[in-house]
């Protein structure tokens, strides 16, 4: 629906990571072991590499939740790098 409204593909971090998390029964309650989280992070980074290769007319919206204490908060910087490499704008939105 977002793509139809905005013309941009929605790329939530779970679209990438769930490819690994679902294999171990992730359901939003079950604890995901650190080694599986590391695999999820690798898949997410591969997704960013693919996003970087998108044609200039492909619009992307990245979504992810990060708390202030979350070491993955650096992900925002990686998303900005992808946008910069593509010559695209990157707008951050923090929801408190």
Across 78-96, average pLDDT = 79
pLDDT digits over 73-84, tens only? 677 788 888 888
Q: How many CB atoms lie within 10 A of CB 21?
A: 20
Give the model's confidence band at 53: pLDDT under 50 very low, under 70 low, under 90 confident, else very high.
Answer: very high
pLDDT digits over 17-44, tens only? 999 999 999 998 999 999 999 999 899 9
CA distance 29 to 1: 27
Per-residue model confidence (pLDDT) at position 69: 64
| Mean pLDDT, all residues of the chain | 84
Q: Which of 24-33, 46-55, 87-96 is least confident? A: 87-96
Per-residue model confidence (pLDDT) at position 67: 64
């Amino acid at each position: 629906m977002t793509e139809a409204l905005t013309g941009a593909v929605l790329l939530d971090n779970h679209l990438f990571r769930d490819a690994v998390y679902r294999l171990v029964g992730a359901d939003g309650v079950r604890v995901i072991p650190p080694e599986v989280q590391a695999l999820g992070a690798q898949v997410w980074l591969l997704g960013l590499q693919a996003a970087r290769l998108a044609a200039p007319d492909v619009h992307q919206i990245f979504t992810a939740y990060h708390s202030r204490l979350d070491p993955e908060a650096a992900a925002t910087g990686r998303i900005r790098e992808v946008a910069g490499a593509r010559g695209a704008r990157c707008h951050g939105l923090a929801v408190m």
